[in-house]
C-alpha cells in the first residue's frame, strides 16, 4: 500500500479514537429565573437578537449543534461556551451587582459596536446569528440606554430604603 493510504487510515483511526475522550460540554439549564429577559431592561426585539446571536455561548440555554458532540470540534465548542458563560451569562443576569451589570453592558456596546461579537467562527456555522449594521446599532443603543436604566433602578431602590428608615 502507498504511504498515503497508511496516513489516511491512521488519521481515520485517530478520529475514531478521540471520540472516547469526554467532551465536557457545559450543562444545559432551561427556565432561568434570573434571566435578563425578566429584568425589564430588554424589549422583545432586543431579546430575540440576543437569543439568536449570543445565547449559545452567553447563557445556560446553549443549543448544541451536531458537531458539538463530535471530537475534536466538541472541545472547541465546550471551551467557547465555558469561557463565554464566564465572561457574560444572560441567564444569571440578576446575580450581577450594579458595577458588574454596568461593565457587562458597556462591554456589549464595545464588542458589538466593533463587530467582534458574535464570534466569527460561530456566525460561519450559524449565518442567521450574524448581525447586520442596523442590528448592531440597535444593540449598541440598547446597551447604552440599559446602563441608564440600571442606574435609575438602583437609585430608586436606595430611596425606598431611605424612606423605610
C-alpha cell at 119: 464570534
**Would you say 129 and 53 are in contact if contact means Cβ atoms under 8 Å apart?**
yes
Question: Using CA atoms, how far apart are residues 146 and 157, in angstroms rounded to an integer?
Answer: 16
Complex with ligand HEC: residue 123 or 153, whichever CB lies closer: 123
Rounded to the nearest 10°, the torsion over CA 145, 150, 153, 155 is -100
Complex with ligand HEC: residue 44 or 162, whichever CB lies closer: 44
Complex with ligand HEC: residue 25 or 119, whichever CB lies closer: 119
The set of residues, in sequence order, having a beta carbon less than 8 Å from that of 25 and lying 6+ positions away, is: 62, 64, 68, 69, 74, 77, 78, 81
- 10 Å Cβ neighbour count for 13? 10
Can you state the percent helix, strand and coil of the chain, rounding each to 5? 70, 0, 30
Minimum separation from the CB atom of position 60 to ligand HEC (A): 14
Minimum separation from the CB atom of position 12 to ligand HEC (A): 28
Complex with ligand HEC: residue 26 or 118, whichever CB lies closer: 118
Minimum separation from the CB atom of position 6 to ligand HEC (A): 36
Complex with ligand HEC: residue 71 or 81, whichever CB lies closer: 81
Minimum separation from the CB atom of position 15 to ligand HEC (A): 23
State the residues that interact with ligand HEC by CB under 6 A.
53-54, 56-58, 80, 83-84, 87-88, 107-108, 111-112, 117-119, 122
Minimum separation from the CB atom of position 141 to ligand HEC (A): 13
Amino acid at each position: 500500500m502507498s504511504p498515503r493510504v497508511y496516513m489516511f487510515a491512521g488519521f481515520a483511526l485517530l478520529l475514531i479514537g478521540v471520540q472516547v475522550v469526554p467532551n465536557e460540554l457545559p450543562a444545559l439549564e432551561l427556565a432561568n429565573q434570573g434571566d435578563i429577559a425578566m429584568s425589564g431592561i430588554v424589549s422583545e426585539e432586543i431579546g430575540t437578537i440576543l437569543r439568536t446571536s449570543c445565547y449559545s455561548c452567553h447563557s445556560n440555554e446553549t443549543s448544541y449543534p451536531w458537531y458539538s458532540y463530535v471530537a475534536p470540534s466538541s472541545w472547541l465548542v465546550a471551551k467557547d461556551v465555558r469561557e463565554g458563560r464566564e465572561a457574560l451569562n444572560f441567564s444569571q443576569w440578576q446575580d450581577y451587582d450594579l458595577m458588574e451589570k454596568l461593565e457587562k453592558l458597556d462591554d456589549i456596546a464595545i464588542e458589538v459596536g466593533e463587530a467582534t461579537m458574535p464570534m466569527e467562527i460561530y456566525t460561519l456555522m450559524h449565518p442567521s446569528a450574524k448581525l447586520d449594521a442596523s442590528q448592531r446599532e440597535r444593540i449598541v443603543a440598547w446597551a447604552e440606554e440599559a446602563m441608564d436604566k440600571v442606574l435609575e433602578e438602583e437609585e430608586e431602590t436606595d430611596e425606598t430604603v431611605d424612606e423605610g428608615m
